[in-house]
Amino acid sequence: MKIRVWGCRGSLTTPGRETIRYGGFTTCVEVRLSDGTLVVVDSGSGIHRLGNALLAEPGTSQLWLLVTHAHWDHLTGFPFFTPAYLERYRIHVRSWPEARDALRRYLEHQMDPPYFPVEFSVLKAGFDFDAIEGSELRIGNATVVPIPLSHPNGGTGFVFIEGGRKFVFLTDNELAIQHPGAVRREDYLDAARGADLLFHDAQYSDAEYASRTRGWGHSTYTQAAEFALDAGAKRFGTFHHDPDHSDRDIDASIRLCRRIVRQRRSRMDCFAVAEGMTLEA
């Protein structure tokens, strides 16, 4: 699997000189399977540029859009995803079981008046919406396993397995609190165990978390690093960067995470996920 990051900022699109290196667009991650099948996770503001890149790729007319949850920062780019306006695309939208009847409504609603000038009904791409049935979804040669997030209003993370390789995507996941619908920390560890690549929410510093942001649905850098180490991930990327954190703040957070990795005598590769990154899982 090839992973390309189109957006990794949390909560709010954050352009500017302070966020150039890690990027300002919100969640959108491309997972390209070995047979070329395109899977897109979330339609945050990063999906706009992914859409434009797809137009230059005439061989791709079908894609899967997996939605973690319906918070704004994960949907906001959808009305600006050009392939949705074009007849030649087929978009399979999938999400967590409880979203079965609501998934289409989430995407439609943000285009309803008075929020947006163009209604969903104008879109010409073919759409099908469904919840992920049972314990996994098969896409080509890959298996996608959903895992409920610990997050206000719920949501789902995804484990991608293809050819014995494993990419685990857990954003908007608060490890220190079990929100309604969430599973236990041990279950998240099982899901992430031995991942070749793990992206995990690491929005806050411990100080921010202790003073203000506990219960908002996100983890701290140190919580996420400890989690990645406990899971035995080979590579760990911090994800869902806080809009108030500059590139330098994120650099500092990674120094802290790497210190934890050294203290644990691990060889895990630890980095901050950055917009534009391409990684092999």
Residues that bind Zn ion (CB under 5 A): 71, 73, 172
Structure tokens at 91: 């978009």
Work out how close the CB of 29 gets to Zn ion at its nearest, in angstroms, rounded to a whole number: 12
Beta strand segments in 119-194, E: 126-131, 137-139, 142-148, 156-162, 165-170
The C-alpha atoms of residue 52 and residue 166 are separated, in whole angstroms, by 28
Closest CA to 238 of 193, 191, 204, 263: 204
Work out how close the CB of 227 gets to Zn ion at its nearest, in angstroms, rounded to a whole number: 18
Work out how close the CB of 28 gets to Zn ion at its nearest, in angstroms, rounded to a whole number: 11
Residue nearest to Zn ion (CB): 71
Work out how close the CB of 197 gets to Zn ion at its nearest, in angstroms, rounded to a whole number: 20
SS3 assignment, position 188: helix
Residues in the chain: 281
User: At residue 209, what are phi and psi to the nearest 5 degrees?
Assistant: -65, -45
SS3 assignment, position 207: helix
Structure tokens at 137: 């979804």
Strand partners, 163: none
Q: Which residue's CB is nearer to Zn ion, number 79 or number 155?
A: 155
Q: Which residue's CB is nearer to Zn ion, number 172 or number 196?
A: 172
The CA-atom distances, in angstroms, between 55 and each of 51, 76, 194, 247 are 7, 20, 36, 31
Work out how close the CB of 90 gets to Zn ion at its nearest, in angstroms, rounded to a whole number: 27
* DSSP label of 209: I
Q: Which residue's CB is nearer to Zn ion, number 171 or number 253?
A: 171
Q: Across the chain, how many H-helices and E-strands are there?
A: 7, 14
The C-alpha atoms of residue 23 and residue 237 are separated, in whole angstroms, by 14
